[in-house]
C-alpha cells in the first residue's frame, strides 16, 4: 500500500543538501530598478 508521506518530511528528504559556504548568485546587473512604474 502507498503511504502518503507528510509534506514536510518529504521536503526534508528531497531538499538537495547545499555545499558548505554556498553563496546565492548576485542579482543580474541589468536592467536596473524601476523608479516609478513600468508601461
> Which residues in this chain contact other proteins in the complex, by CB under 8 A?
29-39
Supply the minimum distance, in Å, between the C-beta of residue 30 and other proteins. 4
Distances (CA, A) of 20 to 17, 23, 24: 9, 9, 12
Please compute, for residue 7, the number of CA atoms within 13 A of its CA located in the half-sphere on the CB side. Answer: 0
The nearer residue to other proteins, 22 or 37, going by C-beta atoms, is 37
**Smallest distance from other proteins to CB 25, Å:** 13
Residue whose CB is less far from other proteins, 7 or 38? 38
Phi, psi of 11, deg, nearest 5 = -60, -35
Amino acid at each position: 500500500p502507498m503511504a502518503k508521506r507528510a509534506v514536510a518530511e518529504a521536503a526534508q528528504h528531497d531538499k538537495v543538501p547545499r555545499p558548505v559556504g554556498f553563496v546565492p548568485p548576485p542579482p543580474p546587473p541589468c536592467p536596473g530598478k524601476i523608479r516609478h512604474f513600468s508601461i
